[in-house]
A and B are shown apart, each in its own frame.
Chain A
Amino acid sequence: MAIEHPTSQIGSLVSPFPHSKEDHVDADISVDVTSAPASVDGQAPAATVFELQGLEVHYGPFRAVRDVDMHIRKNEITAFIGPSGCGKTTVLRCLNRMNDVIPTARVGGRVLYHGIDLYGPEVSATELRRRVGMVFQRPNPFPKSIYDNVAFGPKVNGVRSKSDLDDIVEKSLRGAALWDEVKTRLKSSALGMSGGQQQRLCIARAIAVEPEVILMDEPCSALDPIATARIEDLMQEMKDTYTLIIVTHNMQQAARVSDRTAFFTTEVNPESDRRTGTLVEFARTRKIFSNPADERTEQYVTGRFG
C-alpha cells in the first residue's frame, strides 16, 4: 500500500461510523489533526487535499484537457462548471484514477493527493479509490438488494462480521438520509427504488467505505427537482465529514451548494480544430458568481456564453 492516509485506516471501517445523525459527534474528529482546517470564511487556510499541476489528459491522440492547476481544500464543496465537453468529467476521473479504466486515456502533469503523486509508480488505484469515492451521473446501483449494495464496499475492504456490516449499512443509509425510507425493505432489490432513492443509495454505498473525498459527477442530472433538493441538502450535511467535489452543469446548483467553483471552458486548437478543455478560473463561489476575474467566466455565469 503506497498511501498513508491521514485519517482513516482499514481498522476504522469496523469502528462505528463517527458521523451518524444521532451521535452528532463533532465533525473535527475525522479531520486531519496535523493541519487545522478552516471554513471558507475563516482566516487560516484549510488543508489541501488535491493539488493539480499542469494536468493534461489525452484520449488517444486527442487532447481533451490541458493546463489545469488547482488546490482542492478539505471539508469544502468544490464545484466544476462549464459547457459540456470542456473536460469536467475527465478531470474529476483523474482524482480517483477512474480514467485507468479507459484504455486510450493518458494523464500528464501531476495530481497530488496529500502531496503524493497519484500517477506515481507505487500508488495502488484500489487503495486510492477507497479513500476517494465516486457517485456517477446516472444512479448505478448493483442488481442486488439494498443491503448488499451498501455492504459491498466494506466487504471488499475486509469487513467480514455480520454485525459490523449491519452497523455500517445502517449508518451509511442514515448518512445518505435514506434509512427511514428503506429500513423495512433492506433485502429487496435496489432496482425497485425511485431514481432519487437510487442516487442516495449510491451515496450511501460510497460513504460506507469511509472515504475522505467523494467525487460526484452531475449527481442530480437524472433526477427531478425534489430529489435534487434532497441531495443538495445532503451535500451540505456531508461537508463536515467529507471533502466533496461535484460536477454540475446547473449553475444555480453550484451557486447554492459549493464553497469554491472552478470554471472550465473549451478552446479550439488551431492545428486540429478539435476543442480542448481548460480551467479558466477557480475561486470562491461567491466571487465567481458576483465578480469573476475572467470575462469568459462572467459571460458564462450570466448566461451570455457563446
Chain B
Amino acid sequence: MTPDQDSRSQEPGDPPPSADRTSSAEQHDAALVASLRSGLHGGREVADRAFGAVSRLSGTMVLAVLALIAVTMVGRSVDAIRWMGTDFWVWRRWAPPEQYYGILSFVFGTLYTAVIALLLAVPISLGIALFVTQIAPVWLRRVMVYVIDLLAVIPSVVVGLWGLLVLAPNITGFYGWLSDTFDGWPVLGSIFGSNPQGRSFLTAGIVLAIMITPIIVSLSREVIETTPQSEKEAALALGATKWEMIRGSVIPHSKGGLVGAIMLGLGRAMGETIAVALTIGSALGQITLNALASGNSMPAVITAEWGEADALKKSALIGMAMTLFVITIVVNTTATAIVQRSQKRTRGAV
C-alpha cells in the first residue's frame, strides 16, 4: 500500500497528512495488526472446540458400542459356526435334538416376508403420501396425517395379535380363491400355491406392511414436501396435469429420499419379531415361493427358542442374530449409496 492511498483511506477525523505520515501509517498498521491478532485469536472458538470434542466423543461412542456388539456376537456365535461350518448358512435343516443348525430357511423367511411387505406397502404408502401432500384439501390432510401417525404407535404385539386372531382365520377363504384362480399360471401359480395356510408368509407380510406403511408415509411425506413450489409451477406452466407434475417434478426431486424411506421400512420389516412370530406359522425348513405356506423368520426363531436352549443352540441363535445384523447393514449401506448417487446426479455434481 502506498502512502498516498493510505492517506486517502483515512477517516475525516484523522490528523492531516504530515511529513511523518509514513511512520504514523506504520503505527496505525501495527495497532491494526495487534488488534487483529487479539481479535482473531479470541476466546469464542472455545465453545466451538468443546462442541467439536463432544460430537467426536459421541460419534466414537456409537462406533464403540457397535464394535462391542459385533465382537460379542462373533465371540458368542463362534462355537456354533465352528461346529456347523458354512453349512450354518447354506442348509435349511434346523434340528436341535441332533445338534444340526442350518438357518437358511429362516433367512429366506425374513427376506421373503420383508419383500412381500414392501410390495404391498410401497405403492400404498407413496400413494397416500402423494395424495396427502399434493391433492387432499387441508382439513383432510390433517385428519389423514393424524390417523397415520396414530397407526405408527400401535405396539407391534397388538398388530401381531390382530393378525393372528382376526386376519389369519378370516383370510383363508381368500387365499383358497387365490390358490385356485392362479393354479397352473407361470410364476403366480407358484406364489399363490397349493394348501394355503391362514398363518403364512403372506399373512406375516400383510401384517408387516401395516406396520411399515406409517413409517414410509411420514418419511416420504417430508421428502415430497421439500419439492420447491417453483419446480412444481415449472411443470404446470408447460401444460402438465397434476399427475404429470408429480411425475415430472415431485418424484425426480424426491427420488433419493423416497428410496431412503423405503429402505428404512425394509429394515424395520426385517427386524420385526413378535408380529411375525405370531403370524408366519412357525414351520421349520420352509423355502418355497408359495406365499400361502407357513414358514419362519430369524427374529421369530430366536425369541421362540432362546428359553430352553443349551449352550450350542444359544450360540447358533446368536449366529443367526449376527447374520440378520449383517444383512440389515448391507441393506442400509446399499440404500445410502443409492440415495447419494441419485442426489449427486440430480444436483449436477456428476
Q: Which A residues have a C-beta under 8 Å from some C-beta of B?
A: 96, 98, 101, 126-130, 133-134, 136, 138, 140-144, 152-153, 156-157, 188-193, 202, 205-206, 209
CA of A129 to CA of B240, assembled, Å? 8
Nearest CB of chain B from residue A230's CB, rounded to whole Å: 21
Q: Which of B84-92, B246-254, B264-272 touches A?
A: B246-254
Q: Flag B217-254 by CB within 8 Å of A: 1 or 0 each.
A: 00000000000111111111111110010001100110
The residues in B between 203 and 226 inclusive whose CB is less than 8 angstroms from any CB of A are none
Check if B237 sits within 8 Å of A189, measured CB to CB.
no
Check if A189 sits within 8 Å of B345, measured CB to CB.
yes
Check if A144 sits within 8 Å of B252, measured CB to CB.
yes
Give 4 A-B pairs besides A189-B347, A190-B348, A205-B238 with Cβ atoms closer than 8 angstroms: A126-B241, A134-B237, A143-B348, A191-B348
Check if B236 sits within 8 Å of A142, measured CB to CB.
no
CA of A126 to CA of B253, assembled, Å? 22
B303 at the A interface (CB under 8 A): no
Check if A156 sits within 8 Å of B238, measured CB to CB.
yes
Give 6 nearest A-B pairs by CB, closest first. Answer: A192-B348, A130-B239, A191-B348, A143-B346, A189-B348, A153-B238
Check if B237 sits within 8 Å of A206, measured CB to CB.
yes
Check if A191 sits within 8 Å of B347, measured CB to CB.
yes
Check if B234 sits within 8 Å of A136, measured CB to CB.
yes
Contacts of A202 in B (CB 8 A): 234
19 chain-A/chain-B pairs, Cβ below 8 angstroms: A98-B233, A98-B236, A126-B236, A126-B240, A126-B241, A129-B238, A133-B237, A142-B235, A143-B253, A143-B346, A156-B235, A156-B244, A157-B239, A188-B348, A188-B350, A190-B348, A202-B234, A205-B238, A206-B237
The residues in B between 73 and 115 inclusive whose CB is less than 8 angstroms from any CB of A are none
CA of A130 to CA of B236, assembled, Å? 9
Nearest CB of chain B from residue A182's CB, rounded to whole Å: 13
Contacts of A205 in B (CB 8 A): 234, 238
Q: Flag B266-280 by CB within 8 Å of A: 1 or 0 each.
A: 000000000000000
Nearest CB of chain A from residue B204's CB, rounded to whole Å: 38
Contacts of B230 in A (CB 8 A): 136, 138, 140
Contacts of A141 in B (CB 8 A): 234
Q: Give the A-B contact count at a CB cut-off of 8 A.
A: 88
CA of A136 to CA of B234, assembled, Å? 8
Check if A96 sits within 8 Å of B237, measured CB to CB.
yes
Pick the contact of A126: B229, B239, B346 (CB < 8 A).
B239
Check if A191 sits within 8 Å of B234, measured CB to CB.
no
Contacts of A153 in B (CB 8 A): 238-240
Chain B residue with Cβ nearest A135: B237
Contacts of A189 in B (CB 8 A): 345-350
CA of A138 to CA of B348, assembled, Å? 17
Contacts of A127 in B (CB 8 A): 239
Known contacts A188-B350, A192-B348; A133/B238 CB under 8 A:
yes
Pick the contact of B346: A98, A101, A191 (CB < 8 A).
A191
CA of A7 to CA of B253, assembled, Å? 35
Nearest CB of chain B from residue A140's CB, rounded to whole Å: 4
CA of A152 to CA of B346, assembled, Å? 16
Chain A residue with Cβ nearest B345: A189
Nearest CB of chain B from residue A43's CB, rounded to whole Å: 35
Nearest CB of chain A from residue B224's CB, rounded to whole Å: 14
Contacts of A144 in B (CB 8 A): 252, 346
Q: Flag B281-295 by CB within 8 Å of A: 1 or 0 each.
A: 000000000000000
Known contacts A156-B244, A188-B350, A191-B348; A140/B234 CB under 8 A:
yes
Check if B228 sits within 8 Å of A140, measured CB to CB.
yes
Chain A residue with Cβ nearest B344: A189
Check if B252 sits within 8 Å of A142, measured CB to CB.
yes
CA of A140 to CA of B236, assembled, Å? 12
Check if A129 sits within 8 Å of B237, measured CB to CB.
yes
Contacts of B239 in A (CB 8 A): 126-130, 153, 156-157, 209
Contacts of B348 in A (CB 8 A): 143, 188-193
Contacts of A192 in B (CB 8 A): 348-349
CA of A153 to CA of B230, assembled, Å? 16
CA of A141 to CA of B345, assembled, Å? 14
Pick the contact of A143: B233, B237, B241, B347 (CB < 8 A).
B347
CA of A85 to CA of B332, assembled, Å? 49
CA of A129 to CA of B349, assembled, Å? 32
Contacts of A157 in B (CB 8 A): 238-239
Check if B252 sits within 8 Å of A143, measured CB to CB.
yes
Contacts of B240 in A (CB 8 A): 126, 152-153, 156
Check if B248 sits within 8 Å of A156, measured CB to CB.
yes
Q: For B232, B235, B253, B350, which residue has the most chain A Cβ atoms within 10 angstroms?
A: B235
Check if B235 sits within 8 Å of A152, measured CB to CB.
yes
CA of A138 to CA of B249, assembled, Å? 16
Pick the contact of A142: B241, B248, B349 (CB < 8 A).
B248
Nearest CB of chain A from residue B175's CB, rounded to whole Å: 41
Check if A142 sits within 8 Å of B231, measured CB to CB.
yes
Check if A142 sits within 8 Å of B234, measured CB to CB.
yes
Contacts of B232 in A (CB 8 A): 101
Nearest CB of chain B from residue A148's CB, rounded to whole Å: 9
CA of A143 to CA of B253, assembled, Å? 6
Contacts of B229 in A (CB 8 A): 101
Contacts of B235 in A (CB 8 A): 142, 152, 156
Contacts of A188 in B (CB 8 A): 348, 350
